[in-house]
């Protein structure tokens, strides 16, 4: 798949997501996910704003979207090892994001990472994102791999908007959050490279 085609697909993908979430529902609905509270109980834990707490929960769920999409695509294309290997990496991403939520006392008790909640998310935007990914995966391996590209580009965008000093949509995050998210972003770049390389061979 050529670069221009990838870019056009991504624009179409993001347009569908914007339409899906244009009902006026905020991306990060506050009270349902991040309960105000004390910091993690240790003096070394910074106090986050509500927006920052919501962003930590959002990224934790966004990593679950990636994992669950790749589980689905791996089941559809069991002979394609790319989905299986990156699915395992996304579980590690989820674990890292979960640890930050736990450290900053963000309630994630409603999240079930097992098969029971496979494909279930607690942010409306991300539920729509998951559904759209499955719709865009189409009926060919090339379309499924293109969804992998789009998922990784979306993750990279969220992480960059969170930690890039020139953007920082929710304000400056603590050093441990920035460090963890930089690692997740580097991993997403690696996944993106893998999907693009595999697409070139389809």
pLDDT over 70, % of the chain? 77
Read off the pLDDT band of 116 (50, 70, 90): low
What's the pLDDT tens digit per position in 19-28?
333 333 333 3
- What number is the average pLDDT over the span 149-176? 96
What's the pLDDT tens digit per position in 5-51?
444 444 444 444 433 333 333 333 333 333 333 343 344 578 999 99
Query: Is 97 a residue whose pLDDT tops 80?
Result: yes
Asked if the structure places residue 36 within a domain, the reply is no
- What number is the average pLDDT over the span 176-190? 98
Asked if the structure places residue 30 within a domain, the reply is no
Asked if the structure places residue 139 within a domain, the reply is yes
Whole-number average pLDDT of the chain: 82
Number of domains in the chain: 1
The domain that holds 109 is classified in CATH as 1.20.1260.10
Asked if the structure places residue 35 within a domain, the reply is no
Tokens 């240790």, residue?
A: 42
Asked if the structure places residue 38 within a domain, the reply is no
C-alpha 66: how far from chain center: 6
Asked if the structure places residue 40 within a domain, the reply is no
Query: Is 86 a residue whose pLDDT tops 50?
Result: yes
Domain that holds residue 60: 3-24+49-200
Query: Is 151 a residue whose pLDDT tops 80?
Result: yes
Asked if the structure places residue 169 within a domain, the reply is yes
Of 71, 189, 59, 56, the C-alpha closest to 126 is 59
pLDDT of residue 36: 38
Read off the pLDDT band of 112 (50, 70, 90): confident
Asked if the structure places residue 9 within a domain, the reply is yes
pLDDT of residue 166: 93
Q: How far is CA 181 from CA 9, 56, 83, 176, in A?
A: 26, 10, 22, 9
Q: CA-CA distance, 84 to 67, in Å (whole number)?
A: 10
């Amino acid at each position: 798949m050529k670069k221009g085609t990838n870019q056009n697909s991504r624009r179409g993908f993001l347009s569908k997501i914007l339409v899906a979430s244009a009902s006026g529902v905020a991306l990060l609905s506050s009270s349902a996910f991040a309960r105000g509270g004390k910091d993690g109980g240790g003096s070394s834990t910074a106090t986050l704003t509500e927006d920052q707490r919501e962003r930590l929960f959002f990224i934790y769920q966004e990593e679950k979207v990636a994992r669950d999409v790749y589980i689905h695509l791996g089941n559809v294309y069991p002979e394609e090892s790319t989905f299986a290997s990156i699915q395992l990496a996304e579980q590690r991403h989820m674990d890292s994001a979960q640890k930050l939520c736990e450290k900053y006392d963000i309630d994630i008790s409603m999240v079930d990472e097992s098969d029971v909640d496979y494909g279930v998310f607690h942010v409306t935007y991300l539920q729509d994102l998951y559904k759209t990914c499955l719709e865009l995966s189409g009926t060919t391996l090339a379309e499924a791999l293109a969804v992998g590209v789009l998922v990784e580009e979306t993750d990279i965008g969220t992480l960059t908007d969170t930690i890039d000093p020139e953007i920082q949509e929710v304000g400056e995050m603590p050093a441990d959050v920035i460090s963890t998210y930089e690692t997740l972003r580097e991993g997403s770049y690696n996944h993106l490279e893998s999907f693009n390389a595999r697409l070139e061979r389809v």
